[in-house]
Amino acid sequence: KAIRRQRQMCIRDSMDEYFVLFREYMLVQKPSSVNTRDSYLRDVSAFLRYLEGENITSPLEVETETVEAYVQHLHSLNRTNSTISRNIASVRCFYKFLILRGDMQVNPAKSVKLEKEPKKLPQTLTSEEIDLLLSQPNVTEAKGCRDKAMLELLYATGIRVSELINLNVQDINLRTGKLFCRGTKGVRTIPIYAKAVVAVSDYLYRMRDLIVDPDNSGDALFVNLNGSRLTRQGFWKIIKAYTAEAGITKEITPHTLRHSFAMHLLQGGASVKDIQTMMGHADISSTQVYVHLLDLDNHVKSVYNECHPRAKTS
C-alpha cells in the first residue's frame, strides 16, 4: 500500500507540474477570454485527474485511444454534447501547448471528434396558432398596444428578436410599408403587410409617447414601461405570457415567429432565395432547413403580398 501510495503521489506531482505550466501559458501567452481560460483550465484539470485514475503516469503517454476513452467517460457522466465538445477542445489545446514545448510530436486529441446529433428542425406555429397568439394583447392599454405591434412586426418581417429591439423609429416607413433592418450583414429592406402597418402606427401615434422616456430610450421604436429600450429578456417574458394565455402548448422560443414567417412563406410558394434575402441569412443553407418541413412544388412566385398568409387577407 505504501508503495502504491508513493507511486500515486509521483503521478500526481507529474500531472500537477504539467498543469502549472499550462496554466502559466494560458495566463501569459495564449490570448483568450477569462471564461474560455477558466473553462480550459477546469477541463484539463479534470482530464489529468482521469489519467491518474487510469494509472497513466504522465500526459506524455497519452494516445488517441485514451482521449476517446475519456470522451466515453464523459458520456457515462451524462455530460451534454456541448460540454464534451468543449472538453475535447480544451484537451486539444493542452497538447498543442506540449507540442510547442517540444514534449510531444503528435496531438492525440487532434482526430477526436464528437458525433454530431441531427439538427433539430425549427418549431413553428400554424397560421391558426399565429392568429390566436396575435389576438391576445389588449390594444386598449399601452402595453398591449406595444405588444401587438411587436408581434405583428416580427411575424410580418421574420427579423430576429435582437434586431427587433434595436429598431429605431426612423427604421420603419409606415407610408410605404417597409422596414429597414440594420443587422450584422448591413441593412436589408423588408416589406410589411397592412395589418402590421396598422398595429405599429397605432402604437407609434397613440401609445408610445405615453411610456417613452426620451432621456433613456433615444429613438428606440419599442420601449418598456419604464420608458427605456426593451431588452431581449423583456420580450421573451412577453411572448411566453401570451403563449400561455393563448393555450398554445408548443415549446416557444424568441425565434418561433421568425421560423413561422419562413415556413408560411414557403407554404405560400415563395422561393428559398427570396426568403434568404428577407431573413438576412448569409448562407442559403440556413434557409433551406425550412424546406425539410414541407413537401413543396418546384415553382417560384414573386413573393410577399401573394404568399404571406396575413398579407392575403389584407
**Catalytic residue IDs:** 185, 258, 281, 290
186 DSSP β-pair partners: 183
- φ/ψ of 191, rounded to 5, equals -70, 155
Instruction: Answer for the pair 314, 195: CB distance below 8 angstroms, yes or no.
Output: yes
Find out whether 138 and 241 touch, Cβ atoms under 8 Å: no
Q: Residue 187: CB partners within 8 Å, gap ≥ 6?
A: 180, 181
CB atoms under 10 Å from CB of 82, counted, come to: 9
CA distance 270 to 272: 7
For 233-300, the DSSP string reads HHHHHHHHHHHHHHT--S---TTHHHHHHHHHHHHHT--HHHHHHHHT-SSHHHHHGGGGG----S--
- CA angle centred on 231, ends 216 and 34, rounded to 5°: 105
Contact 155, 261 (CB under 8 A): yes
